[in-house]
Structure 1
Amino acid sequence: MSELIPSLSTLRALPQVQQPTYEDPVARQHVIDRLRALPPLVFAGECDELRTKIAQVANGRAFILQGGDCAETFDGVRANSIKAKLRVLLAMSVVLTYAAQVPVVKIGRIAGQYAKPRSKDTETRDGITYPAYRGDAVNGFEFTEDARRCDPERLVRMYNASASTLNLVRAFVKGGFADLRQLHAWNASFVRDTHVEKRYEQMAGEIERALGFMEACGVGGETMRTVDFYASHEALLLDYEYALTRIDSRSQAPYDTSAHMVWIGERTRQPGGAQVELLRTVRNPLGVKLGPTTTGADALEIADRLDPTRVPGRITFITRMGASNVREKLPPIIEEVEASGRKVAWVCDPMHGNTFETSKGFKTREYAAVVEELNGFFDVHEQLGTWPGGVHIELTGDDVTECLGGAFQLSETDLASRYETTCDPRLNRNQSLELAFMIAERLNRYRGKYATESPAPDWNE
């Protein structure tokens, strides 16, 4: 490895949390060596493009839509499943772009979200205790001794699953699936709620007429048929992120080529920790999750560690305060960061602070709580005169029953019918689209107040 990147032994000597314990260190090192020899999953130029777009978000000229599975699974690497997730995100982005009149930066929790931090190291059922499931990249979901054993070979499976997913996503977004003229086709195949469907169809008809007018005037081109779509995941597993960190031949700078954007979780953002030490050296745009115990000083400390030279678009703060905390806990953080002169993208994760367990043992979230935290996020930014830069949502393209409420008013008794997540509950496709309309309304209302003399963003700047 280059001297620009800390050695693995240096990283392992630093504090690290949420890492798997492997029984065979030789097998572990063999896997790392194999991964280091494999091609990158993303390219430095793509990461630079995304960083430029996030800089536009930080300046109040665009909005981030980041979403996907809580935890991807190897079995989920199927064309229909990937297509369904992409379809929901594209439909949501069209709603936001058209209804709120802002460019939307589309980032998936996809092609790498195979590991999860856990609050407990073990799980006990009927008096039997095994290691907790930490995602398919670490161990198996099945509650058996063999499945729950941490296996480094799963890191190679993670790489292969991510490569397959990225290949298919690139084919979809550049091969015609993302064409705006497909709006009605997306609707026919996945919008099931009458209220949401009516709003979506009305909007799709308006867009279709606008496209027809533009084409009649000779305006059109590739931007109407393809989209830029970026991959992201939590940079949790140190061995994997280290192995995929490479020196770009063009710039001679390090990039984490496992994803375009990676983020550091609430549990792993220690300024002197191993994850921070590795990621401070790479040039990718970075996300940092901030929970309700975070102070403004905490946020500035991690930002200064990761981005001492204040590169535009480098830092995105993803706040996860909870519906009951957001109006109290978020303002002082934003105020202190803004007072420092640092420009970051502020993104709301309304999912992780609103999780609870039902009496039947289902982890779930209330759709109403998700909306409440988002409303609080927008309220805070309106009060402070800052830009609400995006949302970070756990969702799926399937008709699951994992989150309560929404258009169909799912109740606790409905959860058992299609509860399919291996970790945290996700919004289903109708709840996701319903949420997009809510966000668009808030954005559109605030956009006029926030409007500046800045021209519309040019992604080629």
Structure 2
Amino acid sequence: MATPSPAASSSSTAGVAAAAAYHANPTWRQKHQAQQVDYPSQQAVDSVLQRIGKLPGLVSPYEVDRLRTQLAAVAEGKAFLLQTGDCAELFDYCNPEQIQAKLKLSLLMSLILIWGARKPVVRIGRIAGQYAKPRSKPTETIVRVDPQTGNTTKEEIISFRGDNINAFSPDPPSGRIPDPERLLQAYFHSAATVNHIRSELSSGLADLHAPRQWSFQHVQSRALQDEFESVVDSLTDALDFMRTIGADPGVGNNNVLNSVDYFISHEGLALDYEEALTRLVRRPTPSNPSRSTFSHEAAAAAAAAAAAGGADGSSQSNEVEAVDRYALSAHTVWLGDRTRQLDGAHMDYFASIRNPVGIKVGPSMKPQELIEILDILNPDVPLSSGSDEEGGEGSHNGTVRYGKEKGRVMVIIRLGASKVASLLPPLLSAIAASSHYDSIILLCDPMHGNTQTSPYPPTSTDPSAQPLKTRSFGDIISEILHFLDIISTDFPTLRVGGVHLELTGDKDVTECFGGSMRLRPEDLERGYKSHCDPRLNFEQSLDVAFLLSHYFRKQRLQKRKQAAWGGSGAEGAEKVPEPPTTEEVKLRQKAIIETGSGDELLAQLICGITSR
């Protein structure tokens, strides 16, 4: 098992000396790196990484800490996490229209969720850096047609690894040769995307005083339009009331009604790039309340100073004591199914950073392996300041209390609709029996386990056209519902944390079939734009948001009724109709799923929305 992160034990002088030493010479470089890119010139790579290492971080340690605080609330069941965005970004996506479309969709979905669940929503985008693409094979075969003879030949070329590595187009084939300059392009495209997101949010895009300005009229489903109008009407009425009693500071002030937090994330594949944007940061202390960032050279000097002076507790050692490593390429990064080796380079790097991290959990993950990963990524640490009752850093009879950092790890579960019922319970049982049960965030990723090939081949005359990858909306909904039901029914000590969705704000995309638009597999080619995996379009994304909102609303109202009925003691009061049992719900869902594409699930949801 890998050694716990030095950042996790940085409260001790020895641990901090190790943190500085690690930063000066990261040990992940000595371990096997999955998905490693074979560049023609290592000298060219080193030159680019040195330039990136001198550039400012894309995010700040303060923003990372703010996300950590909000994720702790998610782990405690006090907030809901919504993580959304493209499967793989292209540099071409860095334009105002597409950035704003994704941002608006995230805001709309979170507003719908807040209204149903009555919980804050933490928003994380798969954006501003989601350029890398893991591949199972280093090469792929394409078909070429001789324009003169019409003869076809097959050619093996390097696989597309993402816009930060090589070109998507196979013409010319030389474009598939990994180019380190693309890492620099990835940095600047990420910086431009983050800058535009911040400017949009600071300009009032998220202002709850004007939700009608968020475009919704193009949505085809009349039921969804009516439901959104109902949400907006209720919200407007509540804001009017707040204004009347003086509780609303009004437009133009920096408060929760005018703006929101929006965090960025990506899969941490290219470790050299991640390391180049990782900084050693001194945490604020009473004697030094401001943050400061160490250069790589200063980190090496600090490591040497700590090693030399740590034994006698010198002031120089104490000065180095409160430091951590922050990955400033994003607020949070995640480990994929192909890079989660226990003794691998990615695991070692992820354990070394202060950022919250994610781990993708697919069908091949064994329960004990998951617990070992969690032990590495979230070892016991001195608990944060606070009272013993609140789970903070306590000293009982002079003994410091240790425990898990809440919200440090997001477990992103992607099993597939046909496997979730059999594979999820053993994983949850292992978590519930471990010391991680109340600190992790359980996310449902209903996308990656439900990818299939469309039964309808492309109509293009291009002989190199490949069958379209797609996903059934019914499968996506089925996995979400199973995930919710299994946790809420069978694992009372665990909490639903949120969802992790691949989607796009583009309104004319047709990559997944089903949903309230009733897209059929033969409709996919009409608006298939993804260069990677199929994404939910704007309307399908709102379908998911309303389903979740409706689910949590029913759950919340049922608890309120049960509390009121249990406390009234009135023998002759009119009884609240008994809700269907969990078994009845599961049987109903099973019957719906077995009889069709699963769209009937959405039809039931729409009926529930419009009849309430």
Q: TM-score range by the shorter chain?
A: over 0.9
From 434, 440, 447, the counterpart of 1:344: 440
Find the counterpart in structure 1 of residue 158 from structure 2.
131
TM-score, length-scaled by structure 2: 0.72
Q: Partner amino acid for 1:437?
A: F
Partner of 2:23: 5
Aligned twin of 2:543: 434
**Which range moves more in the overlay, 42-51 or 437-446?**
437-446
1:258-314 per-residue CA deviation (whole Å, 9 max, x = no partner) reads 000111111111111111111111100011110112122111111111111222211
Q: 1:131 to 1:99 in 2, by over 3 A?
A: same
- Bigger drift between 63-72 and 336-345 goes to 336-345
C-alpha distance in 1, partners of 2:117/2:48?
Answer: 47
Contact kept? 2:140, 2:158, Cα under 8 Å: yes
The separation in 1 between residues aligned to 2:204 and 2:471, in whole angstroms, is 35
1:117 aligns to 2:117 (yes or no): no
Counterpart for residue 457 of structure 1 = none
Q: Does structure 2 conserve the Cα–Cα contact (< 8 Å) formed by 1:183 and 1:204?
A: yes
Shift of 1:182: 2.7
CA drift of 1:6 comes to 6.6
Counterparts in 2 of 1:405-444, with a 5 A limit?
405-444=514-553
Which of the residues 484, 489, 497 maps onto 1:378? 484
In structure 2, relative to structure 1, the CA distance for the partners of 1:446 and 1:5 (3 Å cut) is farther
Letter in 2 for 1:370: I
Residues 220 and 517 of structure 2 are in contact (CA less than 8 Å); yes or no, is this contact kept in structure 1?
A: no
User: In the TM superposition, what is the alpha-carbon distance from 1:450 to its structure 2 partner?
Assistant: 8.1
Identical aligned residues as a percent:
42
Does the C-alpha gap of structure 1 residues 188 and 450 become closer, same or farther in structure 2, counting only changes over 3 Å?
closer
Measure, in 2, the Cα distance between the counterparts of 1:307 and 1:370.
Answer: 30
Q: Which amino acid in the other structure matches residue 441 of structure 2? A: A
The aligned residue for residue 200 of structure 1 is 228
* Structure 1: distance between partners of 2:243 and 2:425: 45
Shift of 1:89: 0.4
- Structure 2 SS opposite 1:232: strand
Could you say which residue in structure 1 is the equivalent of 2:209?
A: 181
Aligned partners of 1:285 and 1:315 also within 8 Å: yes
Alignment of 1:274 with 2:345, yes or no, is yes
Deviations 1:312-362 (A, max 9, x none): 211110000100111211112112112112120100000000001124200
- What secondary structure sits across from 2:160 in the alignment? coil
Partner Cα separation in structure 1 for residue 262 and residue 520 of structure 2: 34
Say whether the 8 Å CA contact 1:140–1:148 is kept in structure 2: yes
Task: Give the root-mean-square deviation of aligned CA atoms.
Answer: 1.7
Alpha-carbon displacement from aligned partner over 1:99-136 (angstroms, at most 9, x marks no partner): 11111111111111001112222111121111111110
**How far apart, in 1, do the equivalents of 2:364 and 2:553 lie?**
31
Name 1:402's counterpart in structure 2: 511
Q: 1:388 aligns with which of 485, 496, 509?
A: 496
> Tell me, which stretches of 5 or more residues in structure 2 are unaligned?
1-18, 144-153, 250-254, 283-290, 292-321, 381-403, 458-466, 564-612
1:79 matched residue in structure 2: 96
Aligned-residue offset at 1:11 = 2.6
> 8 Å contact 1:12–1:274 — kept in the other structure?
yes
For 2:161, the aligned partner's letter is: R
| CA pair 239-165 structure 1, distance change in 2 beyond 3 A | same
Q: Deviation at 1:96?
A: 0.2
Instruction: Answer with 137-146 or 80-89: which moved more.
Output: 137-146
In structure 1, what is the Cα distance between the partners aligned to 2:500 and 2:61? 23
In the alignment, which of 174, 184, 194 is matched to residue 146 of structure 1? 174
Q: How far does the alpha carbon of each residue in 1:231-273 deviate from its partner, in whole angstroms, 9 at most, with x for none? A: 1111011111111111124252110000001111111111111
Q: Distance in 2 between matches of 1:448 and 1:346?
A: 23
Q: Which residue of 2 aligns with 1:252?
A: 323
Match of 2:367 among 287, 292, 296: 296
Residue 79 of structure 1 aligns with an amino acid whose one-letter code is: P
Q: Structure 1 regions of 5+ residues with no counterpart? A: 454-461
Instruction: Give 1:365 deviation, angstroms.
Output: 0.4
Note the C-alpha offset of 1:188: 4.0
Please list, as runs of the form range in 1=range in 2, the aligned pairs for 1:61-72 lying within 5 A after superposition.
61-72=78-89
- Identify the range of structure 1 (248-257 vs 260-269) with the bigger mean alpha-carbon deviation: 248-257
Whether the 8 Å contact between 1:187 and 1:201 is mirrored in structure 2 is no
Conservation of the 8 A alpha-carbon contact between 1:5 and 1:278: no
Partner residue in 1 for 2:239: 211
Give the greater-gyration-radius structure (CA): 2
State the alpha-carbon separation in 2 of the partners of residues 449 and 327 from structure 1: 25
Q: Tell me the equivalent position of 1:23.
A: 40
TM-score by length of 1: 0.94
Which region of structure 1 is more displaced relative to structure 2, 23-32 or 196-205?
A: 196-205
Q: Contact 2:217–2:225 at 8 Å: present in 1 too?
A: no
Q: Using the TM superposition, give the Cα deviation of residue 189 of structure 1 relative to its aligned residue in structure 2, in angstroms.
A: 5.7
Quote the residue 2:418 is aligned against: 324
- Paired residue type of 1:371: I
Quote how far apart the aligned CAs of 1:195 are.
Answer: 2.3
Q: Which amino acid aligns with 2:370?
A: A
Q: Distance in 1 between matches of 2:69 and 2:557?
A: 24
- Aligned pairs (5 A) from 1:153-168: 153-168=181-196
